[in-house]
Structure 1
Amino acid sequence: MDEKRLLKVFQETRKEIMDVDELSKHIEKEKIMRTALWLSGKELVDIIENKESIAILTEEGKKVLEKGLPERRIAKYLKENDLTSIPIKDLKNILDKDEINAALGNLKKKGIAKIEKGNIIFESLDYEDEEEILLAKLKENPHLSLYNEKERKIIENLKKRGFIKIDEKVERKIKLTEKGKEYIKNPIEIKEEITQLTREDIIGGRWREAYIRPYDVKIPVEEVYPAKMHPLTRIIREVKEVLISMGFKEIKSPIVETEFWNFDVLFEPQDHPAREMQDTFFLKYPTEGDVPEDLLKKVKSIHEDGTIDGVKVSEGWKYKFDENVSRRTVLRTHTTASSIRYLASLSEEEKEKPHKVFCIDRVFRNEAIDYKHLPEFYQCEGIIMDDNVTFDNLVGILKEFLNRLGFEKVRFRPAYFPFTEPSLEAEVYLEGKGWLELLGAGMFRPEVLEPLGIKKPVLAWGIGFSRLAMLKLGLNDIRDLHKNDLDWLKRV
C-alpha cells in the first residue's frame, strides 16, 4: 500500500523526480526511504544520493571566532601594551598551556613574526590572517563545494588545529524509471493491505477482502547494527582460541614490574638502550619493588662474568652489576616478563614436565605517537618447554599458528634479540602489500635459563597485536584502532 501511495504522489503532482522533503508533505518521512527501496527493487524508481561535505565549527572554533586565533591574541596583547615583541616565557600570561606551541609554529609558518634569542618579534601587529577570514566565512557558508582549492587547503589546516570538523550531508531524491512512468499512466487504486496476517483476520474473514502483501526476501532493507565486541577484543579472543586449541594455557603477570623481571633476568645489560627514558616508563611511586634475593645473586653473577655457582656458562657482559637498578619499578615493556616469572615459579618437580603457556596483555613503551606507534599496546607472548624441542619445532609451530590465523604464505629470516639465540622473525604475505613482519621468536639463551634452574630447552615467541589487528582489518594507521568512530565500529 505504501508503494502505491508513493507512486500516486508522482501521478498526482506529474513530477518525475522529487526529494525526500517534498515527498514528506504527502507521506510520513520515516516511510519514504523504506518504500523507495521496495520500489527500487521492482525497478520502478531510482534512488539518487548527492553527498556534500559540510564544515562544522567545534567548541574550540567558536572560541577562536569570539576571541581570535592564539597568534592574534598575542598580537592584540602587544598592541594594547604598545609593544612589538615579547619573550616566549611570557606567553603563559596570554595563552593556555596547550595553545603555546601551536601559536609559535603558526607565527613562523605564516611569516607573521620571527623568533630571535627567545623573543617573538612581530613585523606588523595589523596583519591579515587567511585562517581567521575563512573561519568566519565557514560559519555563514559551511558547504565546502563553495570553496576553491587554495581555500580547501586552509580548511584542512583548520581541521588539523581542531577548529572545525567535516561532516557529510546526504541529499536523497526519488526518480521514476521508464518502467515507473509506464506504471503511473494507469489509475492507481489503493486497497486495504495486510502485511501481517493475524488470527482475527482469518476468523473474521477480513483476509478475503484485503490485499495480502507477498513476502519478498530479495527486497533491500535498512542495515541493522547489533551490539558486538570491539574488533581488537575479537582478534584477541580469536588468537586465544587458536593457542588454546594448540595445547597452550594462559598466564598473567603484573603491569608494574621491577627492572629485574623486565630486563635483568632476560640477560639484557643494565646499560642497554632499551632501558633509557625514551623507551621505558619509570614509576615515581613506588620507585622500588621486591626481588628474590637468591635469584638476584645468580643473575648478577651471570651478567658480570657468566658464571652460576662458580660454573662457567658464558663470558657474561663484563661490567659491574648494580642491584639497586634491579629494584627500580617500570611499566613492563613486553609480556616476556610473564613467561620468565612463570618459569621462575616452577618447583623442581614441575621443571621435569613439559610446559606450553601464553600471555596476552598490555605493554608500555615511551614511543612518539604516529601511524604505527602507540605508548600502550597489546602483545602476545608464548613459550614451549620440553625435552629435545628444537629450532625446527619452533618454525613448525609458528607456521601452524599463523596458518590458523588466516595467513597462508609464511616465511622466516634470521634476527637478533638479546635473550634468544638462535632467533628469527616471521613474515606473512598479503596481496597488494607484499611481505610484512609479524612476530619475533627464538630459543632462550643459557644465560636466561641457568639462573632459573631450567635444564630443558625453551622456545619463545612474541607478536604485537596492533600490527596483527591492522593487517586483519585492513588499516594503515594504528590510531584508528582506538578512535571512537561509531560508523567504523558498526561497519567493521
Structure 2
Amino acid sequence: MRFNPEEIKTAAKEDFDAAWNNGREYVKRANINQGYPHMELNYGKVHPVYETISRLREAYLRMGFHEMMNPLIVDEKEVHKQFGHEALAVLDRCFYLGGLPRPNVGISDERIAMIKGMIGDIGEEGIEKIRRILHSYKKGDIEGDDLVPEMSMELGVSDSLIVEMIDQVFPEFKELAPVCGRKTLRSHMTSGWFISLSGMLERAEPPFNFFSIDRCFRREQAEDAARLMTYYSASCVIMDENVTVDHGKAVAQGLLAQFGFEKFRFRPDEKRSKYYVPDTQIEVFAYHPKLVGSKTKYSDGWVEIATFGIYSPTALAEYEIPCPVMNLGLGVERLAMILYGAMDVRSLTYPQIPQYSPWNMQDSELAKMIYVEKTPVTSEGEEILAAIVKQCELHGSEPSPCEFTAWEGTVYGRKVKVSVVEPEENTKLCGPAAFNEVLTFKSDILGLPNNKKWEEAFENDSARTGIRFIDAFAAQSAWEIEEAAKNGEKQVETRVRIVKVPSEINIRIKPLAQRYITSNNKKIDIRGPVFTTVRAEIE
C-alpha cells in the first residue's frame, strides 16, 4: 500500500469545494422555484466531534477503505475469546446490559374487588381478559409499551384509568428491579472487528480493508477533562497475508496527513494488549505546526494520537481467521480537541451543559438582545419620533423654562401638535444623560456618554445598540401620542426624570441576556438624569 499525503490533501480540498458549491447552487435554485429569490442561504453550525467524524470518514474512503458497522452489543464470552486471561480486567471496564423482569402477577379476590371498584363491574369475562393479557406479557408475547393499550382496548376503558389501576392494584410493577445479563456494550472497537471479520470470511476472500467510526462505552471511575464514559473510536483493519507493521505506519501517515499533521514518530506501546502480537503494538505521535507554542501540553507540536498493531494469531484462531490482521484506532474526541484547540473533552462534547462548559457570550451577541419596547406603528408616529429627537439634539442645552414645537399633523384623522418642553426654571431642555447610548462592554450592559473616558467601549461597533436614552424616550412618546389620538384623548404628556432601571426609559433586555449577566456576576447599569418632557395637544 502506498499513500501520497500531498495528493490526498489536494483531492480532498477539490472534492470539498465542489460539494460546497453544488450545495449552494441547489438551495439557490430551490428558493427561486419556491418564489423566494431574495432568500439568502443560512449555514448551520457543526458540532466539532461530528465534523471530525465526517472528515475522518472522507479520509478513510479516499484511502480505499470500505465502511462497516460493527456490533455494538457484545456477549462477554467474546471478550474472553479475545483477551484470554486478561478478559476479567477488560470486563471490569464494560457496561453490562440489564432489563426489568416480567413479573408473575396473580389476581386474588381482593384484587378483583379493587379492579371493579376502580373501573366498574367488568364481570368474570373482563377479569379473565386481564389475566390473559398479564400472562401474555409474562411470556413476552406482549411488549411493555403495548400492555396498557391492549388492556384499554380489550376492556373498553381509557388508558389513564388502566395506568391508575395497574399502579394501585399491581405493586409488583413498581417494585421491579433490573436484572443484569451477560451482554455488554463494547468498550473498544476490537470487540466488534473479530466478530465482523469472522462473518466476512464466510462470504468473501481477503484482502479486506474496512473502517468503522462509532461509539464505544467504558465504565470509567469518573469523567474528567481527558475522558468520557462514551466516546467515538475511528478504527480500521487490513486483512492480508502480507500485512505488516509498515502498513500501520503508512495508514497512520496517510490518514493524519489529511488533517495537517506533517511529521510522525512511532514508539512501542508499553500497554501490550493481549490481542496484539508482542512488539507490534505501536503508538503514533504526530507533529502539527498549529500546536507549537499553544497553551496545552502539546506546545512542542507533538501529540500521541493513534495506536496500531497486528492481531494475535491466538485470538484470531478463536474466530477461525487464518489471515494476519492489522488494526489501527484513534479517539475521535482526542483528534477534535487538537483540531479545535479544546482543553476539556467535556466542554468540547457537551458545550450546552453548564457544569461542563463556561457560558461565553460575545458583546455583539448581548447587544442584539437589547431593544426598545414601545415603538410607533404608523408613519406619522415615526415622523413624531424623529422630530422629538431632532428638537432635543438642536435645543437640548437651552435654559429652561422653554418649549419647542416638534411636529404638527394628523394622526388617526385628528390634528396633533407635539412639543418638547421643560417648565421648571434653572435647568435645561434635556438632562445630561439624555444622549447616553446603550452598549455592551466586557459583558456589562451600560448606558454611557460617547466621550474620551469611554472611548474604548465605543470602539466595538458591533457591541453598540445605536439606542440612546432620548431615542427610546421619543419612541415611547410617539407611541403614547398614537394611542391617545386613537382613543379620543385631548392631551397627553410623557415625562422622564432620573432613570434608575432600563424600563424607565422604554428599554428592555431579553431574559437570556439577563440570565447571562446574573450568572457571570456582571452588571446592567442604565441610569442617569434625562429630565425631558413631551406634550401633545389633540383636536
Please classify the TM superposition score into its range, dividing by the shorter chain length: 0.3 to 0.5
Give the greater-gyration-radius structure (CA): 2
Tell me the TM-score normalised to structure 2 length.
0.39
Tell me the TM-score normalised to structure 1 length.
0.43
